Amino acid sequence: VGESKPLLLSSTRPFLWSRDTASVQKSVFTLQPCDSGLEVRFAGFLDRCGDVAAFAKLAREVRFSLEYRAEGGRLAYYYPDFVVRLTSGEHLVVETKGLADLDVPRKDERATRWAVDASITSGVRWWYLRVDEEPFVEQVARLRSMRGLVDLVYELRRQEYLRSTPQPRSRSREEILTNMDIISRRMEGVEGLDVDAEIRRLREDPRG
């Protein structure tokens, strides 16, 4: 089996583009072919980030796509929006997202898996990042680096996870005392542990 050839952005053939474009400096493409105003704004952000060495908007003509299982199990192709190389040597595949659809989690999973495989195969650190429109637009004015954006996205994901995680039910004072009674009966005869004294203290303390 022959080795697959690397996909070079510089080998992309010229193509016509009638939608939005972004004029940038840190790319092999001086005009970035953008599908939305969000992508135009994101390209401008990347161009001014001090820790971004180079980037490119991945139009379909670049021929970079990922196979994945879409809703209903059908085979589909996913075309991520940007590829970014940081000054640290790390690489990112970035998806900018306005409205989320049912396939977003599947695309995220597939792109994350691709980044892991690419890191192992190439020896270069690759990772995947999805950037949602609302927090990006709200925070872009104060962001000065790609690392700052990564930290923001991860913090928002963490907060989202915590909100979706059921919180433990708070127990009343009486429930706690009842449980301590049960523990006391189970621990009878154990030296050095006076659970009864602790229960009496709690019962007599009006503050709980």
* pLDDT value for 193: 54
- Comparing 79-83, 128-132, 163-167, 183-187, the range with the smallest average pLDDT is 183-187
Q: Where are the domains of the chain?
A: 9-164, 173-204
For residues 146-173, average pLDDT? 84
Residues whose CB falls within 8 Å of the CB of residue 96, separated by 6 or more in sequence, listed in order: 36, 38, 39, 42, 81, 82, 130, 131, 133, 136
* pLDDT value for 153: 93
Both tokens of 69, joined, read 């299982």
Length of the chain: 208
What's the predicted TM-score (pTM) here? 0.73
* pLDDT value for 114: 94
CATH fold for the domain made of 9-164:
Trna Endonuclease; Chain: A, domain 1 (3.40.1350)
pLDDT higher at 175 or 207: 175
Instruction: Please give the single-letter amino acid code of residue 86.
Output: L
How far apart, in Å, are the Cα atoms of 204 and each of 172, 175, 188, 207?
16, 16, 22, 9
Per-residue pLDDT of 41-95, as tens digits, reads 999 999 999 999 999 999 888 889 999 988 888 899 999 999 999 999 999 999 9
- Comparing 81-90, 103-112, 153-162, 193-202, the range with the smallest average pLDDT is 193-202
In this prediction, what percent of the chain has a pLDDT beyond 70? Answer: 82
User: Residue 173: which pLDDT band, with cuts at 50, 70 and 90?
Assistant: confident
